[in-house]
Structure 1
């Protein structure tokens, strides 16, 4: 890292490389923060978390008890030991509280004045953050397992919500009209919401090689319920997880299964499973609830990097805070845990320059001049 900083100061290397290296180091050193607590409000399991993308300061949680809580993640006390306080909650005594389990909460991507929630009570609610009153309530005939607002849409304000057996939905962060959905029938479909004729494509785990698939498995993404979807931040790939204990990475443009092998990814959830992908690292990492732990994989090679242990019961959801490379996880044990990068080891005062790691300059930034240019 010191070599990268020296090269950056000398103008010999790309500043983005230094940022990626430090973000990657921080993710690889994630550990349970024993000095930071998140105030315990929920009386039953936590199903969903979301951190607003504007400041990365405020976090929403939704629980099996129907309760929604908003937390302030900033350390206002400036003390080493502190608790992330709940600013407010939509508790059981609130007149508009969800009657049953809250499955998804999400901030409006461009303004913390609005957030949304959906529940097993067959409703999706649009909340005014300032008044803590619903600005609108949508009623459905079936259970709402998941919903999502596009993070990039500028020409529409559509909220994708699906009923009954569609367990996961996610808008593309690259194309504002493209939506991915995962279902209990093992299928993952990509939709262009401007088209009424049907979906763009149905992802096939066998990439069209039907000779290797039984007729039942043809055109399915998983041999089980698909209950988790997550796009990479550039929108070029889609990561899916199913109850067949498999996770698959897809090229979102071609619909091709990239065949990355993550091994067995234990998934016994009967409803939506919220997992997360890092941002700005090299390589990128996936944080996946795995029983009472969180498995950390490299997205493009499938390597299991580590298992984060701290919860006492099944982990249902996790959310990544890209500003400081922090991870927050919610579990059936009613706790929200904060995972932060381990502090960097201080450099000894008597360290010599020769003992520092040698940095090799990116060839694109090397001086192309040579004394041979003046010869002959």
Structure 2
């Protein structure tokens, strides 16, 4: 650590190298934080989490009970043991059961996806099995707009980088991908190509018009929403080898339902998860399967599965719900690093906080668990060891003078 700091001060190292090294160390040492609890509000399983990207302080959760809860993750009490309190909720537990059929603002069925508006904490979105997508004003907790669909809504996503459009991609029981325009308040157009329901959608973090969609028809498609024939690629797990020998050239990404999508932070690769218990890494430009072997990735979910990736590490990691645990893999080599154990039932979603390298997970047990980096343990001789001579740290500290100069 001292060597990194000294080299950075001397201008001999990239300033980001120290940050990458420490970020990587923190991810590799993630453990269940026994001193930090998240207040339990949901009466049943939690399907989705999202941390706002502006301050990385507030977190949303959406549950099978139709409730949406907003938490403050900051420890304002400064006590070592504390609980992250719920700031507010849409459909409190009591209100939910009394008024779930009549209250206009409460989702009537399970909330499948929540997402903050990427540029402002004054707005967030939610979608539900009640066939609606709602745009919420955070200050009033009132819906500013509501989009209604013919089928169950499984997933939605807003681009984090878009400056020339305000489209929300929505995956429903209908095989057509819906694109809703926040500016006009209506569905602008649809994307046709899938044969069954759309279980996951994700905008590219690199190109604002590129969208990835995953379906129960075993296919993953990449779209350019500006084009008339919008489909750019249908990902093929065999990279075209099997279709050459087959009379029917049907490209499938998995041998089962595909219910999870996640781009890497640079947008150059796409991770997918299917009910065939496989996770695959794709080149998002060419559509090629990189053939990274992650082994068996247990996936029992019949709905969308929310997983996430690290940020600023070397190598980068992916955090995947794996039965009642969260598995951590290296993205580009496929190595299983560790399994985070603490939930009592299946985990359905996890979200990464990049500022502090913390991970939050939730599932059918109704708990939200915080995984934080363990404190660096002092070496046995730390108390007696003196600081190293700065001359030994870096050649830049060497002086050019000699003792002969003093004699003159």
TM-score by shorter chain over 0.5: yes
d(CA) in 1 for partners of 2:292 and 2:386?
43
- State the distance in 1 between where 2:274 and 2:313 align: 25
CA gap of 1:119–1:359, structure 2 versus 1, over 3 A, is: farther
Question: Contact between 1:4 and 1:359, CA under 8 Å: does it hold in 2?
Answer: no
Residue 161 of structure 1 and its aligned partner are, at CA, apart by 0.3
The count of aligned residue pairs is: 362
Matched, 1:168 2:200: yes
1:310-321 superposed matches below 5 A: 310-321=342-353
2:384 corresponds to which of 340, 345, 350: 350
Equivalent residues of 2:6, 2:394 under 8 A apart: no
How far the C-alpha of 1:296 sits from its partner, in A, is: 0.2
- Per-residue deviation, 1:345: 2.2
Counterparts of 1:193 and 1:222, CA distance in 2: 24
Equivalents in 2 of 1:312, 1:355: separation in Å?
51
TM-fit CA distance, 1:215: 6.2
Relative to structure 1, is the Cα distance of residues 50 and 354 closer, same or farther in structure 2, using a 3 angstrom cutoff?
Answer: same
Corresponding position: 1:52 with 2:52? yes
Unaligned runs of 5+ in 1: 368-376
Give the Cα–Cα distance (whole angstroms) in 2 for the partners of residues 13 and 198 of structure 1: 44
Alignment match, 2:145: 136
Q: Which of 30-39 and 212-221 deviates more? A: 212-221
Root mean square deviation, CA, Å: 2.1
1:287 maps to which residue?
319
Pair 51,216 (structure 1): closer, same or farther in 2 beyond 3 Å: farther
Structure 1 residue 120 corresponds to structure 2 residue 154: no
Distance 1:54 1:48 in 2: 19
Pair 1:353–1:79, CA change in 2 (3 A): closer
Displacement of 1:327 after TM fit?
Answer: 0.3
2:258 pairs with 1:249: no
- The alignment's TM-score, normalised by the length of structure 1, stands at 0.92
Q: Please tell me whether residue 188 in structure 1 is matched to residue 216 in structure 2.
A: no
Tell me, yes or no, if structure 1 residue 29 matches structure 2 residue 61: no
* TM-score, normalised via structure 2 length: 0.85
Kindly state the Cα deviation for residue 352 of structure 1 after the two structures are TM-superposed: 4.7
Name whichever of 214-223 and 113-122 sits farther off: 214-223
Contact 1:206 1:213 in 2 (8 A): no
Q: Which moved more, 1:66-75 or 1:216-225?
A: 216-225
CA distance in 2, matches of 1:146, 1:215: 34
Q: Is the 8 A contact 1:217 1:223 kept in 2?
A: no
Computing the radius of gyration from Cα coordinates, the structure with the larger value is: 2
Structure having greater relative contact order (Cα 8 Å, sep ≥ 6): 1
SS of the residue aligned with 1:17?
A: helix
| Alpha-carbon offset, residue 12 of structure 1 | 1.7
